[in-house]
Chains A and B, each alone.
Chain A
Amino acid sequence: MSQSLKVPTMAEYMAEGKQPEILFWVGSAGSYDDRAKKITRAFVKLLNKANVDFAVLGTEESCTGDVAKRAGNEFLFQMQAVTNIEILNAYDVKNIVTACPHSYNTLKNEYPELGGNYNVKHHTEYIEELISSGRLKIENNSNLKGKRITFHDPCYLGRANEVYEAPRSLLKSLGVDLVEMKRNRRTALCCGAGGAQMFKEPEKGDQDINVLRTEDALKTNPNVIATGCPYCNTMMTDGVKAKEREAEVEVFDIAELIAQAENL
């Protein structure tokens, strides 16, 4: 058992007649996937430490519909979107932060046309803000100092929305040795999970995409592969296992690394 977290819901805020600074959109992976739940908890620890007034929708949250839209099911996507927008608008939500680039992209880019207009940030962007405004301090003497870390760009954060530097500047602030893969930023190779691939077997081919991407990462000889997406995390973790390197290479979300550095 781990320490208990302070996770208020929007309903609780509403009952008190208050409005939080941000809504933390947890996303389906962050809510149910065992690996991704650790990322969620790590991010909440950071929010708690920085005394951020945040709330989650809790049981009122539902899948953004990203995966349905990319699978071609526009009906299901829009049903999900319209339902979520109704709830978000009813709570008068203005600012959303999420640790999932897929939710991020959908909320930020695809909800406005259906009536949902929010200021949406990826958690790496938000943590960077917390640090630069002095609300969150990073001790530069963490156990991560000097470790070789490579960052895998999630497609829906990088190419899709051109957020390349926020995660990198966070890693640098941890004093780690940030090593780039040959394919990085806009030429980064996908982990293989996007476009609904997460939920199906790949088509016939001669290699799995996550293994190919893991090979890219392993070429940098890292201690840690960092990423900013729960799907990428799963794919890279599986890739490291497929290459039988799990004893020496770990896969972490940036929020987890910062929480570790803070001994949270």
Chain B
Amino acid sequence: MEYLPNILFAIALIAGIGYFAKNVKKLIRNIKLGKAVDVSDHKKQRWQNMIRIALGQSKMVRRPVAGILHVIVYIGFVIINIEVLEIIIDGLFGTHRVFSSLGSFYGFLIGSFEILALLVFVAVIVFWIRRNVIKLQRFWKAEMTSWPKNDGNFILYFEMVLMALFLIMNATDIPFQNMESGNVISQFIAPWFNGASESTLHIIERLAWWLHILGILVFLNYLYFSKHLHILLAFPNTYYGKVKPKGQLNNLESVTNEVKMMMDPNADPFAAPAENDTEDVPEKFGASDVTDLSWVQLLNAYTCTECGRCTSECPANQTGKKLSPRKIMMDTRDRLEEVGKNIDANNGEFKDDGKQLLGDYISNEELWACTTCNACVEACPVSIDPLSIIVEMRRYLVMEQSAAPMELNNMMTNIENNGAPWPYNQMDRLNWKDE
């Protein structure tokens, strides 16, 4: 019986990490449903982007209030999690504050954790107020239905509780308080428990300790189901994010091959494909479902934390159009999850469910409202590119379905006929010179 807590702890730890690992595998499987894309270029710039944008939060602070609060929570979580290492060792081996032998350095460490915990607690309350009291517009847009709203709040509650438990755990730890070192914040909480006996204090301390570590394990497993996944995926996403000028849309290789054939006077359109010709004709041009997108675009969707900076900068959205770049990302993730679950339910094979991203999630009206201005791409603090998905879906609409708005069809016919989007004669191109 003596080792019961150690055994229980080990079981909780293995279960918590095991279930998370299982979901990470699923996550990677789902992302790999996307099409291959070459990301082996610009290695140095990619690392720099990751260090600057994800690690250094450079784009977060462009909006200073949210940015600085976010930096506090970010630094707080990264640093306070060093404490988790001690908790795990203590839990597995039955020790108590195993690192306290470090003496004054330990006091310094815990002291900084306590200050950060308080700062995080306050920052998270301000975040909650911004969402629920001030009701910042971007948290209340149409795509912020009940789950996205709740998800945002659940994360904040989790963080508040975890920080509170950490401070209570320290405040009720008599030997720690007696050390008189590192209890910078908890010494002011300790008096709240003045009436309690030593054994009650011990029970509260143990309870806070257990709830703290179990809370962390639950939170870890919550990630996969939540927008909070960004705390992990921001790093690969900023690495794999676009390194070319924002204005450059990707070149469709499959189309290039077709165009070359058409332009080559020696090409024989009826020629049988060469025997070793492994180049398959693509199933379709553009994207109508998530599996037509690249895996980086799918990673983008899982990375999105629904902050809405993209949507609040979008000219179409600001003028009341249906398009919201955030919704494009949320829809992509929702559909990808649906496809993933379908695969799980059908022994690893996707069974046609009669649905797709285009139409069932994203409407033509949204896609045609985009001005391709790149405001959303510029605004995203973690290098997500909603525009690339919009363009890929327009390609499907135009090249597979000929479903462009009529005025655009006229424009394209003009280009085909006379090399300009307007119906003017190509021979008149230089008339401006003499007008």
Chain A residues packing against B (C-beta within 8 Å): 2, 4-5, 7, 9, 26, 28, 30-33, 37, 40-41, 44, 56, 58-59, 61-63, 65, 67-76, 78-80, 82-83, 105, 108-110, 113-114, 155-156, 159-162, 186-187, 189-190, 192-209, 212-213
Contacts and interface: CB of A to CB of B under 8 A. Distances in A.
B375 A109 contact: no
Contacts of B315: 189-190, 192, 209, 212-213
Interface stretch (B15-23, B97-105, B220-228, B256-264): B256-264
Contacts of A195: 370-373
Contact of A32 (B251, B378, B394, B424): B424
Given A28-B420, A160-B246, A74 B429 contact: no
Given A71-B412, A75-B259, A202 B369 contact: yes
Given A105-B247, A159-B375, A194-B373, A71 B398 contact: yes
Nearest to B314: A190
B45 to A, nearest CB: 14
B310 interface: no
Contacts of B246: 159-161
Nearest to A200: B407
B434 A74 contact: no
A21 B177 CA distance: 79
A198 B407 CA distance: 10
Contacts of B147: none
B61 interface: no
Given A32-B424, A195-B373, A203-B321, 14 more contacts: A26-B432, A30-B432, A31-B424, A32-B429, A58-B430, A74-B395, A74-B399, A75-B259, A76-B412, A109-B245, A110-B249, A155-B375, A189-B315, A212-B315
Given A56-B430, A72-B394, A31 B374 contact: no
Interface centre among A31, A37, A83, A198 (most CB of B within 10 A): A31
Contacts of A9: 430
A196 B411 contact: yes
A65 B415 contact: yes
A156 B372 CA distance: 9
Contacts of A194: 371-373
* Shortest 8 CB-CB contacts between residues of A and residues of B: A160-B247, A72-B394, A195-B372, A62-B419, A206-B320, A190-B373, A205-B320, A109-B248
A28 B421 CA distance: 7
B66 interface: no
Interface in B249-285: 249, 251-252, 255-256, 258-260, 262-263, 285
Contact of A197 (B371, B419, B420, B432): B371
Interface string B307-321: 000000101101111
A227 to B, nearest CB: 14
A75 B419 CA distance: 14
B386 interface: no
Contacts of B198: none
Contacts of A37: 432, 435
Interface in B385-435: 391, 393-399, 404-405, 407-408, 410-412, 415-416, 419-422, 424, 426-435
A160 B399 contact: no
Interface of B: 244-249, 251-252, 255-256, 258-260, 262-263, 285-286, 313, 315-316, 318-323, 365, 368-375, 377-378, 391, 393-399, 404-405, 407-408, 410-412, 415-416, 419-422, 424, 426-435
B429 A26 contact: yes
A68 B415 contact: yes
Contacts of A75: 255, 258-259, 399
Nearest to A69: B249
A203 B432 contact: no
A185 to B, nearest CB: 10
Nearest to A7: B433
Contacts of A205: 316, 319-321, 369
B382 to A, nearest CB: 16
Contact of B245 (A161, A196, A199): A161
10 contacts: A4-B434, A59-B426, A67-B415, A71-B394, A73-B395, A160-B245, A161-B245, A190-B315, A190-B375, A205-B319
Contacts of A204: 320-322, 365
Contacts of B313: 187
Contact of B415 (A80, A161, A212): A80
B371 A208 contact: no
Max chain B C-beta neighbours (<10 A), residue from A58, A74, A195: A74
B378 A206 contact: no
A83 B248 CA distance: 19
A207 B432 contact: no
Contacts of A105: 245, 247-248
Nearest to A194: B371
Nearest to A197: B371
Contacts of A65: 415
B408 A31 contact: no
A32 B428 contact: yes
Contacts of A159: 246-247, 373-375, 377-378
B378 A187 contact: yes
Contacts of A61: 419, 429
Contacts of B421: 28, 63, 67, 198-199
